[in-house]
Structure 1
Amino acid sequence: MNPIFFRRDLCTSTSQLLQFSSTMSPKLTQQEEGKVVPDYILDKCAKHPHKVFLTQPMGGDAVKNWTFAEFLSESKKMAAHIASLDLPVPSQIAIMSKNCAWWLMADLAVMMTGHVGVPIYPTLTAETTKFTLEHSEAKLLFVGKLDDHPWQEMKKGIPEGMACISFPLCPEGLEYDKWDELIGKNEEIKEVKKRTPEEMATIIYTSGSTGVPKGVMLSFKNMTDPTFGLINQIHVTEKDRYLSYLPISHGMERWIGECVPFVTGMHVFYAEKLSTFVQDLGRCKPTLFLSVPRLWTKFQQGVFKKMEPAKLDKLLKIPVVSWLVKKKLLKALGLQDVRYAGSGSAPLPPDLLAWYRNLGLELLEGYGMTENFNYSHMTKPGRGRVGYVGEPNTGVVQRIAEDGELQVQTPGMMMGYYKNEEATKETITEDGWLRTGDKGELDDIGRLKITGRTKEIFKTSKGKYVAPAPIENQYISHPRVELACVGGRGQPAAHAIVLLGEDATKAVVDGGEKDAIEKEMEELLKKVNDGLDEHEKLQFIAIVNEEWLPENGFVTPTNKIKRSKIEEEHDQFLEEWYASKKKVIWHKW
């Protein structure tokens, strides 16, 4: 919804939103009976040994490329080392790193030796790191590219005595076995273990917005079928280029940034860090691009800083000039070659969608969750409807339960939660449907609209129900707002606790623009309220001056708000806030 480099991550909830645009339909990789994701990458490596597969920034202007042959050779050498450890087959092997080439090589090595991969988010607390490693019974841990602050916290959660291997670009000073040294001393593994569709491939731990994380068990079939579903729907081929920077430890990027490249052989580029993102984007010139609402908004703001919106609108209405302006803008954004553009974590506002569509990027929404490997709904070109997340993908069946909950059956539906039969029974109905936890509505052609989370809906003291998520989405669509939490259980009216974005915070602290931003927030409050039913209208916005981070428990690793933590932290101030009768409240500024 916290990607690795941005405050909000693409795949963010158990409910995740994607958006895609469209064109082109070249020859696609065909799914073959009994074959699974690792089989296809082995085929690609054999067919195109000298073609570049991965491009990794190494600091400064330096990059390192891997051909398919080089990628497979390193993977097989690491597989040989894993095999030499004589771990019980299958064992769980964890990977804790930001996206990088070694992530994919390590995961393929795990697959080739018959083991199960366990991604670890690169921004967990020590407590959650420890829980994930111990609960998954991981026997080995790869430690890779990590920022210093999260690493200082996360290393406290690594169980004493756990065997660890460090990637290049890992934090300095690690005394673990080093990837390059192990690769240098091992020959390639002679026999690659054949994986079957029914075997467990991975355990992905949910971000845990309520309670402890749950380990979603996914089979190779759960990963392979959705991969082909996506490839066929958006026509991915080996000619595509993709910039991987959203957290591969989450299901969405694992699907798009690992499984799809393994099957199609498309060229994957990695981003180095936030400050080099434009450079990384320019290097890749992606044909497929996924991002988050905040970045799409920042792209637009960057354009507006160079050209007034009114002037740009005029230019875009002049036929010949319009084509040149669009071409120049997309090139400046690094998106000139994009065929499919995506966004996630929350809906993009209609005016922003229209703005990008006017530039030639039609963003189409979709929906999925970790428990079905993100394979559920997607908008079809020309059939989009604002506020709706698309129609069921091929092989997906949907229904709305009596209580309004969306339930689905999909090829990606999990095997269950690891060592948690009770939660599995709660999530999968007796007749085999996955409970999404989302309330939904269907229109006359089956398009899905998400209306809220079943467990998040609350009553005010007036006895009326309020669904917070759709209201929060309207607030975080505003360029000044980073995150928002709508509450008001048992109160006379609902309210919003809001975290400003970085630029807005600087404008208040350093630019003396507090009054101007307060006026903007009052206007936002009115605008949102005007579109709500009377019982849903918010009484005030409380702008807090604090950090909401995974490390302090206010958000999940994917930057999804932890509602209970935010409400608990601010409950003591509610009486004062409601009594003040102010529309905008500045808390601890």
Structure 2
Amino acid sequence: MATIATDQLALQRLYHWERTAADTVTLTQPMGGTEVRDFTWGQIGDQVRRMAAFLKAKGQAEGWPADAKVAILSKNCAWWLMSDLAIWMAGYVSVPLYPTLAAETVSQILAHSETRFVFVGKLDDWPLMKPGVPAGLAGASYALSPDDAKAAYESWDAICARTAPLAGAVSRGADELCTLIYTSGTTGNPKGVMHSFGAFAWALQSGLARIPLTAQDRMLSYLPLAHVVERTLVEHGWLTTGLKIYFAESLDTFAADLQRARPTVFFSVPRLWVKFQQGVQAKLPQPKLALLLRLPLIGGLVRRKVLKALGLDQCRFAAGGAAPMPLALLEWYEALGLRINEGYGMTENLALSHITEAGKRQFGTVGPAYPGVQVRIDTQTGELQMRSPALMLGYYKEPQMTADALTADGWLRTGDKASIADDGCARITGRVKDLFKTSKGKYVAPAPIEDKLGMNPAIEACCVAGANLGQPLGIAMLSPLGLQRAATDAEGLKAELAQHLADVNVRLDPHEQLDTLVLIKTPWTVDNGFITPTFKVKRNRVEEAYGAKFEGWVKQRAKVQFGD
């Protein structure tokens, strides 16, 4: 572990803000309707200390181990962050769960982690998740928890009201286990990635050299805090710099939530950046928008108006990641005056590997490595490998999986194929294991093709498959616009997408060109297992659901066809 100043560790940062900015509002939480609740650092410190005292006393009374696990099952909210801090202050290890998991996965994670207590918070689908929580597992609810969770668990406010705050400054060492981040995973069961307090502190120390967060910044927290990017960038960025966090209330209020926050730093995954784009194009068709942007004076007014409508007019640093950002999408936002920095990382390295540099046009790459991150390309497989002080301690209870994830000399196997240019910028070219071979013996890397296919507004998500077929094929889930077109003008939609397919194919090598594009009307969601909580398509689930139809689709000899 690299040398980390003690005052940069998570709890020490809380004590710093508690001492120096007690009256500063740092969290803004929508409570439904027009009600909004603000939290100062002093209020946060007081509530965290009370909940920590409760957890510590409960652990001592029940004989919890020193590294007992406490789970957080909730959408993002102020109490999520306070729960995490209370768990650490009590001396325990936090286990966040995605708020969209199936009951079976909830059960698996709680059992595997040996969770002793669970915070059941703000959730949309608690009745579906509830069977996964053991009936005998103690817990607490939040002010925004579902009613039956409030009935089942004592409330956060009641516990705080009857518990005296923990005094003093509890220290947690840099090498101590901080959290288990269970990977959402595109295949297999989630794995509990172990990270230390020092790893987070180092990640922020390195990350701030590339992402200049300050106490004056504002961020909107809406991607799951159970995900490594939100956890590192938002939670630990908040603790390190003292920036202000606004929380999103719901999908329906997201536009209003963005307007309330007007974030100065904003991160989103590619699928949501595409949704924002499609929302603009629905009101201002692309040909008209492109024309207006080219006009002197008017172009500047249009840019400001569009960004203000998105709630991003104050955004000075925008970023994307978790999946590849299509080049055409980056160029579209650049034309609006918003350059998106593309980041690259994994749960196993706290998402701290590469990011493009602010002010530099490094499109098509994920930029150079963060300061202090070492990278290399495996000469046999073309795999990008890396190491840094932000690397995981390993997978919880999985020594063999840990060994498999690392090389003999301690470098992380990312599983991604890449090339590194002379300027240090890395270009991700596909997954080592996602490569498949057609019946002609040619290998196909699906990710770059999927990037190109996804740049039509009728397509929301797509997957390229075709192992052992003569040519690959594309499977595309229609966007809301695509579904509307399918219902009112199916033949026109097919003709438009046939041209789009032809435009894509002409840019591919002959063995990569798609035989057919199959349109799917059934949504791919987290609930039905087709995507992860960060909107990555689960390739194995798509192939499992549609694989038996591949040959039949190819035999139709149609460039574009409906698959359901």
Scaled by the length of structure 1, what TM-score is found?
A: 0.91
Structure 1's 164 and 506: CA in aligned 2 closer, same or farther, altered over 3 A?
A: farther
Contact 1:34 / 1:196 at 8 angstroms: preserved in 2?
no
User: Size of the alignment, in residue pairs?
Assistant: 555
Distance 2:83 2:359 in 1: 40
Asked if the contact 2:177/2:197 (under 8 Å) is kept, the reply is: yes
Q: Does the CA contact (< 8 Å) of 2:322 and 2:344 recur in 1?
A: no
Q: Do structure 1's residue 530 and structure 2's residue 506 form an aligned pair? A: yes
**Aligned with residue 154 of structure 1, among 129, 135, 138:** 129
Are the aligned partners of 2:221 and 2:246 in contact in 1 as well (CA < 8 Å)? yes
- Cα distance, 1:581–1:423 mapped onto 2, change above 3 Å: same
User: In the alignment, what sits opposite 2:536?
Assistant: 560
Question: Structure 2 CA distance, aligned partners of 1:31 and 1:46?
Answer: 21
Amino acid at match of 2:454: I
Aligned to 2:492, which of 511, 516, 522?
A: 516
The Cα of 1:389 is off from its aligned counterpart by 0.7
Partner of residue 179, structure 2: 202
Distance 2:285 2:540 in 1: 41
2:552 — aligned with what?
A: 576
Report the counterpart of residue 27 of structure 2 in structure 1. Answer: 54
Contact 1:35 1:197 in 2 (8 A): no
1:189 aligns to what SS in structure 2? coil
Flag the structure with more relative contact order, 1 or 2, with Cα contacts below 8 A and sequence separation at least 6.
Answer: 1
1:448 aligned partner: 426
Distance 1:382 1:279, change over 3 A: closer
Classify 1:133/1:383 alpha carbon distance in 2 versus 1 (closer, same or farther; 3 Å). Answer: same
Per the alignment, residue 118 of structure 2 pairs with 141
Residue 142 of structure 2 aligns with an amino acid whose one-letter code is F
| Map of 2:400 onto structure 1 | 422
SS across alignment from 1:470: helix
Look up the SS of the partner of 1:152 in the other structure.
helix
Q: Distance in 2 between matches of 1:31 and 1:40?
A: 13
Provide Cα deviations, 1:62-109, integer angstroms capped at 9, x if missing partner. Answer: 100001101111111111110110232221111011100000000000
C-alpha deviations, 1:436-468, integer Å up to 9, x for none? Answer: 000111112221111111111111000001111
Partner of 1:551: 527
Q: Which deviates further from its counterpart, 231-240 or 548-557?
A: 548-557
Displacement of 1:382 after TM fit?
Answer: 4.4
State the one-letter code of the partner of 1:68.
Answer: W
Residue 110 of structure 1, aligned match among 67, 87, 92: 87
Structure-1 separation of matches of 2:270 and 2:299 = 25
Letter in 2 for 1:94: A
| Aligned AA (1:293) | P
Seen in structure 2, the aligned counterparts of structure 1 residues 156 and 398 have a Cα distance that, compared at 3 Å, is: same
2:341 matched to 1:353? no
Query: Which residue is equivalent to 2:143?
Result: 168
Matches of 2:275 and 2:462, distance apart in 1: 18
Any unmatched runs of 5+ in structure 1?
A: 1-29
CA contact (8 A) 2:70 2:116 kept: yes
Match of 2:234 in 1: 257
Residues 479-526 of structure 1 deviation map (CA, whole Å, 9 limit, x = unaligned): 2212212111111110111111123213323xx121222122212211
How far is the alpha carbon of 1:32 from its aligned partner?
3.1
Q: Which runs of no fewer than 5 residues in structure 2 stay unpaired?
A: none
Match of 1:88 in 2: 65
Read off the aligned partner of 2:23 and give its amino acid letter.
H
Q: TM-score, normalised by structure 2?
A: 0.95
Offset of residue 327 of structure 1? 2.5
1:265-414 paired onto structure 2 within 5 Å: 265-401=242-378, 402-414=380-392
The 1:162/1:386 distance shift into structure 2, 3 A limit, reads same
What are the Cα deviations for residues 542-588 of structure 1, in whole angstroms up to 9, with x where unaligned? Answer: 11232322322222233322222221221221221121111112122
Q: Deviations over 1:194-240 (max 9, x none)?
A: 11110110100111222111110001111111112222322211110
Q: Is the 2:530–2:537 Cα contact (8 Å) retained in structure 1?
A: yes
Percent identity between the two aligned chains = 44
Secondary structure of the equivalent of 1:165?
strand
Report the 3-state secondary structure (helix = DSSP H, G, I; strand = E; otherwise coil) of the residue aligned with 1:303. helix
33 and 308 in structure 1: CA distance in 2 versus 1, 3 angstrom threshold: same
Residue 502 and residue 311 in structure 1: after superposition, are their counterparts in 2 closer, same or farther (change >3 A)?
closer
Choose the corresponding residue for 1:232, options 197, 209, 213: 209
Preserved CA contact (<8 Å) 2:174 2:197: yes
Aligned equivalents of 1:561, 1:316: Cα separation in 2? 33
State whether structure 2 residue 97 is matched by structure 1 residue 120.
yes
Find 1:475's aligned residue among 444, 450, 453: 453
For residues 137-189 of structure 1, give each alpha carbon's deviation from its aligned partner in whole angstroms, at most 9, with x where no partner exists: 111111111113xx222111112311111111111222111111111111111
State whether residues 468 and 487 of structure 1, in contact with CA within 8 Å, keep that contact through their aligned partners in structure 2: yes
Distance 1:322 1:272 in 2: 33
Q: Tell me the SS of whatever aligns to 2:36.
A: strand
Deviations 1:303-361 (A, max 9, x none): 34444544444443344333333333322221121110122333333333223223321
1:436 counterpart residue number: 414
Residues 271-294 of structure 1, C-alpha deviations (whole Å, 9 max, x = no match): 101111111111111111112333
Q: 2:462 aligns with which of 466, 481, 484?
A: 484
Contact 1:400 1:406 in 2 (8 A): yes
After TM superposition, give the deviation of residue 35 of structure 1 in Å: 3.7
- The question of whether the paired residues in 1 share the 8 Å contact of 2:8 and 2:240 is answered with no
Per-residue deviation, 1:381 = 3.1
Q: Is the 8 A contact 1:481 1:500 kept in 2?
A: yes
1:39 aligns to what? Answer: 12
Displacement of 1:192 in angstroms is 4.1
- Measured at CA, do residues 438 and 263 of structure 1 come closer, stay the same or move farther in structure 2, by a change above 3 Å? same
Letter in 1 for 2:145: C
Instruction: Say which is worse superposed, 167-176 or 357-366, in terms of deviation.
Output: 357-366
Q: Structure 2 counterpart of 1:58, which letter? A: M
Q: Deviations over 1:381-435 (max 9, x none)?
A: 3443332111011001110002111100122110000000111011111101000
User: 1: CA distance between counterparts of 2:476 and 2:460?
Assistant: 8
